[in-house]
Structure 1
């Protein structure tokens, strides 16, 4: 069992988007921070742009020590700010939202250097880099619907001819942005392909449309290699093809199905062994459609609807990972 007093006085740095952009009633990073604060941790925050390295020294960041307030509109107070080495924190949480662009890539290298300095970073920077959101699916194709990754118009047209009803999406998006469905009539396929591939200069993902989306695009959370027993079914609304909450989908928490448990048990331990403490699997029907590792969400919706405290489970797993890392490093 986790030691209740473990976090008392320990410092945790959260690397994320600007704090003022958080929507606290649904933000999973906020839920993590709130649970850490409840257990006595001292919180600090920075953005990837604040990371810095200079020869002869450790990776540092301009960080703000913060205190949480019980006010949705004024939810944090900055107690102090200074440039500090990342290895001075007991844990560093990388929670920057996509896009998985060049700047995100550079941030993972800076965070990996911080690990060499002695920092404990979750999810592990190398694992983040090796599992870019949508492309990580390629390793687990046995669980996925027919999928194509290409920038070729001809290949996409051939895929459409074979599967007739398809979904096209950019590789670096989130929240359902830039996702298109093209049915059997092929209406606007050419224009959509030109737009998404930027006339053949950008690689995209194409998948067979799964009618089970009507029952929801399920988010299954894997924490420390084990699945949370409830998924959040993000159900499209108003004729929309996207179930993403950011695109207006309705979130309904449901117990995992047998198919979802099977996928979670097959992938969870493998991903955890690579340094991925938290993973969000997207599953439609019986098919895995995405493997999210950057900033998986849905903590609060699942907790509010089921009573299962996802943030507490995460902080328990984080504690175990910090203890294991300290033992391995002889700290």
Structure 2
């Protein structure tokens, strides 16, 4: 990294859910902000409600923020400021799902700033075009048997054929509203009616993968580069969901050749579509999701593997800023 870029005062914005509610020992956004602050970036904190358009420009009611690793008081707002988002060098879009219309509107606002030169991670267009569940259909050779539908009869036929399935919404995260259903389950119809909102809402059904008992694996990709360690999330007894938010236990492991082969296929497409930061989820030898909204597990992998993921992220961001300034 050139001294010129390192010594330059980088202005970084972050759009996220309330920082008041995070767990600083696990939150990936907080870990990235710590690294940014260590590099003496100016950090501007924003929530979704703070963004607005005015005279074809994207603005925010932002707060300059200082943070520290203190579980009693981990942030301090030092200034409130209306800011034109094009004044920022980079914005991290770290708003958690649901990916609803409010989320989509937020990407439109951020895209206005992007067109004027601000780097947005991940790109607004990518956040709209690559749904975390549906994106996996681009890799049909390595995914489990999967359908997306509103139609209750189609789901019923899928259960009849697969014997056991997992039903999940398209717009949530962290294991929320995920159901494991067996053939002849007496609660089948109630669950499917709930998930499809009586055939008004799409959901995803996948064949049940028994290897979930050994955990699912989260692999982090930064600007096409695969982090060589992963987090295996093992569900607690009697549970299907392995997500840490759902009580799963995390174990950090070095990525094996089989998982690396899958990750390389996906990383190539992520790079091609300019998706800067992603989390790949694998169960057994099957790709189940590609998280691009606000990928997590960075803290756990970084802590136990000693791979400085946040440093890698900021180095890549600085490279992008350098390239942009050379072109301007």
The interval holding the TM-score normalised by the smaller chain is over 0.9
Matched, 1:271 2:242: no
Q: CA deviation at 1:49?
A: 1.5
Q: CA deviation at 1:152?
A: 0.6
CA deviations 1:179-215 (Å, max 9, x no partner) are 0001244332111101100111111000000011111
Q: CA deviation at 1:257?
A: 2.0
In structure 1, distance between residues paired with 2:103 and 2:124: 10
Matches within 5 A, 1:235-254: 235-254=234-253
Q: Please tell me whether the aligned partners of residues 12 and 44 of structure 1 are also in contact (alpha carbons under 8 angstroms).
A: yes
Matched, 1:27 2:7: no
Matched, 1:10 2:35: no
Q: CA deviation at 1:291?
A: 0.9
Q: Unaligned stretches of 5+ in structure 2?
A: none
Q: CA deviation at 1:321?
A: 2.2
Partner of 1:198: 197
Q: Please tell me whether the aligned partners of residues 223 and 274 of structure 2 are also in contact (alpha carbons under 8 angstroms).
A: no
Aligned to 1:228, the other structure's residue is in SS state strand
Partner of 1:296: 295
Q: CA deviation at 1:40?
A: 1.5
Partner of 1:58: 57
Q: CA deviation at 1:262?
A: 1.0
In structure 1, distance between residues paired with 2:210 and 2:186: 19
In structure 1, distance between residues paired with 2:8 and 2:19: 23
Aligned to 1:325, the other structure's residue is in SS state helix
Partner of 1:103: 102
Q: CA deviation at 1:39?
A: 1.4
Q: CA deviation at 1:143?
A: 1.5
Aligned to 2:310, the other structure's residue is in SS state helix
Partner of 1:38: 38
In structure 2, distance between residues paired with 1:119 and 1:262: 34
Q: Please tell me whether the aligned partners of residues 24 and 69 of structure 2 are also in contact (alpha carbons under 8 angstroms).
A: no
In structure 2, distance between residues paired with 1:3 and 1:285: 44
Cα RMSD of the aligned pairs, angstroms, is 1.5
1:324–1:4 Cα change, 3 Å: closer
Q: CA deviation at 1:7?
A: 6.0
In structure 2, distance between residues paired with 1:306 and 1:2: 27
Q: TM-score, structure 2 length as denominator?
A: 0.96
1:174–1:20 Cα change, 3 Å: same
